[in-house]
Amino acid sequence: MSAQGNARGTLVITGASRGIGASVARHAAARGYAVAVNYGSDRAAAAAVVHEIENAGGIARAFAGDVSRESDVVALFAAAVDAFGPLAGLVNNAGITGGSSLVADITATTLERTLAINVTGSFLCAREAVRRLARSRGGAGGAIVNLSSIAARIGGGGEWVHYAASKGAIDAFTRGLAVEVASEGIRVNAVSPGLIDTSIHATSAIPNRLATMTPNVPLKRAGTPDEVAETILWLLSDAASYVTGAIVEVGGGR
């Protein structure tokens, strides 16, 4: 696919086949980005997102890759830039909860997989983005947005402390990387969603979680993927040109 019409450059979005990632992909394409729709295993869902974007006149392509595997991440960024041209930004969206578990019952396998996707994956993708965006390496600068969670602040006790801990790592990573690459023309921020109406609750074996948790949200409703996506697109844009190292909560006041 040609990058003709790619007004804003190439945007890599990990885990973009569904939920928040898919919404970010649609909004980004509408704003003129050429969108690399990364997915881990659901090829059909990623293809559906690409098809929707193309039908609306946007530019997108699906790219398979497990973000916890270094070779997959290297290949993802190389393929995206080869397809669309210079990188403009990254949305580190791929993540898993690791399922619901008390700390007393957690397994090493669950911990390892959760940290590998949520933390190692974000580091590896950011590394590849920085290598392409940094001015000292020939890049033009750009923006990185990481996906954190309000769970990092409230701890996730009784459900997923392991997930909350992984997102706490993302908060620290965001602040540290923002300082490290500010002089390279790269802004790094995080969006911290609260209770959002996506399939993550059902896939974590808590299908009724939205109904159970909504009364605890001051706005008395779950958020939508589009509401999170709009915040992410703002952080990527020039409208947020003086914002870096920020953790922006999208949680309805929770």
Residues that are catalytic: 163
The secondary structure of the chain in percent helix, strand, coil, rounded to multiples of 5, reads: 50, 15, 35
For 118, which DSSP code?
I
∠ CA 205-67-162, rounded to 5° = 40
**Dihedrals φ, ψ of 88, to 5°?**
-110, -25
- CA distances 88 to 141, 197, 225, Å, are 7, 29, 22
Residue of 204, 173, 196 lying closest to 249 (CA atoms): 196
Neighbours of 154 (CB within 10 A): 12
* Other C-beta atoms lying within 10 Å of the C-beta of residue 146: 28
Q: What are phi and psi of 159, to 5 degrees?
A: -130, -65
